[in-house]
Structure 1
């Protein structure tokens, strides 16, 4: 079994459109840490197997190697962010056997990351790596998150704000109430509500908090 090296691990959890991904990338860049988008693992599985992965997913050494290779590719690749892949990934993420199958890969990446790593997702502090050095739970009002997503979508395609808000609410319900690894705030996580903060304010606030731990 791989043992943890002397590195610093930051875990960031939060609902969709809370800003956890952009924050994680900024922190990783500032501290010269690696970055892991745990949600991309589910999008990769969705792109390879489709919805059939929910019935029987076994990760052998060849598949693990392929997943690790795909993780190194551009995290913003359009193929992983199209709506169909996102829907399938969301369904797959509800299944305990899939989340458990992907845990060793995530921990392998964490153990080998030097001098540290920032990862974001829904259960990074509670399930993926509860022993992380600094835990963050980031959120915002659903109306604010819908506005942010709406602005993003304006550059890609037209979609009504009401529809986006509805999707975010539905995703929050799925993430919060699934049986295994639900979205929760662990007791020792720094709680940050970004409803009335811009990206720079969030980054500067959390950066200074982390500095006191390094």
Structure 2
């Protein structure tokens, strides 16, 4: 069973993906971490603006050494959005993601193009979203909780900029797959959102 979860930044898709993976005993891949790791490598080398360098970083990426906590900063979120818009980077990471999805028993993947590009035949697809202001508030609280000094207005501006970039890029833009079920978490707590997501998956399984 493959569960594909897509949606914009801070929509809650990652939290739901982890909860669903734990519920079903499936491996989980937050594909956004792959792009954050590529962005981190480019930033460290001072080459975020170099498309060839970002493709090389993607081709040599080792998922076994990714540090999720270190990669979840506001700066790397922005860097990820930059490199993810590059077709060469997306192509370099395509096979890696599909191999993960192809594991015996299935997997849960969340990102921006899972249901449309990575796993178009996944039996269960969700498109998780929320109003920009709600997503900005969630991300702001998360970053402040991690000790980052940032304002809500700055986070909202970043969310809106990333939405525009993710939806407008030429390669694998953020889109709801035709057969994905829309789940708006704007007014839902985590338990209610998980219950709704679980119901969607169970309906597709049935």
TM-score, scaled to structure 1: 0.85
Post-superposition offset of 1:60: 9.7
Match of 2:191 among 175, 179, 200: 200
Post-superposition offset of 1:58: 4.3
Post-superposition offset of 1:194: 0.9
Confirm whether residue 11 of structure 1 aligns to residue 4 of structure 2: yes
Instruction: Write the distance in 1 (CA, Å) between the matches of 2:100 and 2:25.
Output: 16
CA pair 97-60 structure 1, distance change in 2 beyond 3 A: closer
Give the SS at the match of 1:138. Answer: strand
CA pair 138-60 structure 1, distance change in 2 beyond 3 A: closer
Give the SS at the match of 2:62. Answer: helix
Q: Which runs of 4+ in 1 moved over 3 A?
A: 58-61
Equivalent in the alignment of 1:30: 23
Equivalent in the alignment of 2:139: 149
Equivalent in the alignment of 2:73: 82
Confirm whether residue 98 of structure 1 aligns to residue 89 of structure 2: yes
How many residues are treated as equivalent by the alignment?
A: 199
Give the SS at the match of 2:126. Answer: strand
Instruction: Write the distance in 2 (CA, Å) between the matches of 1:60 and 1:89.
Output: 11
Contact 1:44 1:67 in 2 (8 A): no
1:57-79 CA distance string (max 9 Å, x none): 24798x3xx513225xx5x322x
Post-superposition offset of 1:93: 0.4
CA pair 87-147 structure 1, distance change in 2 beyond 3 A: closer
Runs of 5+ unmatched residues, structure 1? 1-7
Runs of 5+ unmatched residues, structure 2? none
CA pair 77-147 structure 1, distance change in 2 beyond 3 A: closer
CA pair 46-14 structure 1, distance change in 2 beyond 3 A: same
Instruction: Write the distance in 2 (CA, Å) between the matches of 1:131 and 1:188.
Output: 10
1:30-57 CA distance string (max 9 Å, x none): 0101100111111222233442662252
